[in-house]
Amino acid sequence: MSSNEKPQKTTGLHIGDAVPGCKKKDPMLVIDHVKKTFGGLTAVDVEHLEIPSGVITALIGPNGAGKTTLFNLLTGFDTPDTGTWSFMGTSLSGVPSFKVAQLGQVRTFQLTKALSLLTVIENMKLGAKGQSGESIFRALFPGFWKKQDEDIEVKAMELLKRFKLDTKKGDFAASLSGGQRKLLEMARALMTDPTLVMLDEPMAGVNPALTQSLLDHVISLKGEGMTVLFVEHDMHMVRHIADWVVVMAEGKVVAEGPPESVMKEQAVIDAYLGAHQETDLGEVTGRINIIKGEDK
């Protein structure tokens, strides 16, 4: 996938009008009446939200909109005060984060959690699911898990090659650069064979040279049939790869729809820009300058 090809966008995801809380033809995540308060502050207050399957959805909004809180709620890393939410039809209320991950969701973190004290290949192997060697009694006798471990290593090496980290396999993750660690985290997440990949600000702290590569990887996930939901600030990036955009402000969803139309909605412009109505949102939020001229 070359960097200047415009990715194929999927359309026709919604039923009815593209309004906040609209139903989707094939929802993967469904959220109902979810509310979370901290102290006296309402961080999230979402009536209804559905995330479509098989496409890339962006969750955007100005600082303090509640995106990260909602993200943590959806991945089980936080619990809402009220509400229900389900993943592929299974209710996630009260389900701990590790079980959510076992159901097919995987998330990355804003501050990358590549395990520095493990080597790159160990990081990768850690991601694999259903390892018999992780059960304590079978762990003692390599006969039980040696074969499986070798298979996992083959799969890990394939992924590492794809992310161009294969030469680093024996290095401690601590010795990787920040961007390489981000790639490692993403590669490791793929080891879990997820259905839904949740990326928490994947571009945060990444140097511009690496962002195109990251974007390409995200797009390729869709190509492999996975659903992607990511939180981001950068509107250029969102316009570039997202099929669907959910805009939050002050804890509520204020707009939903394909990127082009959403960015023109008054509610969204108000949320971001306040007085500077004429400025293109991409200019205001853009962190990276990789797409030149194509969206103007």
Q: Which residues contact another protein (rule: CB under 8 A)? A: 75, 77, 96-99, 101-102, 106-109, 113-118, 122, 125-127, 129, 131, 133-136, 139-142, 145, 149, 172, 174, 188-189, 191-192
Q: What H or E segment, with its residue span, contains residue 63?
A: none
- Considering beta carbons, is residue 61 or 127 the nearer one to another protein? 127
Q: How far is the CB of 117 from another protein (least distance, A)?
A: 5
- Considering beta carbons, is residue 13 or 159 the nearer one to another protein? 159
DSSP 131-178: -GGGSHHHHT-GGGTHHHHHHHHHHHHHHHHHTT-GGGTTSBGGGS-H
Q: How far is the CB of 104 from another protein (least distance, A)?
A: 9
- Considering beta carbons, is residue 72 or 285 the nearer one to another protein? 72
Structure tokens at 192: 């879990």
Report the alpha-carbon distance of residue 207 to residue 288 in Å, rounded: 9
Rama region for 281: left / alpha / beta (φ>0; ψ in -120 to 50; rest):
alpha
**If you search the block for the tokens 């590549």, which residue do you land on?**
114
- Considering beta carbons, is residue 46 or 121 the nearer one to another protein? 121
Q: How far is the CB of 285 from another protein (least distance, A)?
A: 27
- Considering beta carbons, is residue 121 or 218 the nearer one to another protein? 121
Report the alpha-carbon distance of residue 201 to residue 205 in Å, rounded: 9
> How buried is 146 (Cβ within 10 angstroms: 0-12 exposed, 13-18 middle, 19+ buried)?
exposed
Structure tokens at 256: 């939903």
Handedness of CA 286, 59, 73, 28 (dihedral sign): negative
Residue count (the chain) = 296
- Considering beta carbons, is residue 10 or 116 the nearer one to another protein? 116
Q: How far is the CB of 4 from another protein (least distance, A)?
A: 33
Report the alpha-carbon distance of residue 70 to residue 81 in Å, rounded: 12
- Considering beta carbons, is residue 108 or 285 the nearer one to another protein? 108
- Considering beta carbons, is residue 101 or 214 the nearer one to another protein? 101
Q: How far is the CB of 147 from another protein (least distance, A)?
A: 12
Listed in sequence order, the residues at least 6 apart from 54 whose beta carbon sits closer than 8 Å to its beta carbon are 10, 26, 28, 222, 225, 226, 227
Q: How far is the CB of 101 from another protein (least distance, A)?
A: 4
Q: How far is the CB of 208 from another protein (least distance, A)?
A: 26
Listed in sequence order, the residues at least 6 apart from 115 whose beta carbon sits closer than 8 Å to its beta carbon are 122, 123, 126, 173
Q: How far is the CB of 166 from another protein (least distance, A)?
A: 19
Torsion of CA 77, 20, 261, 273, to 10 degrees: -70
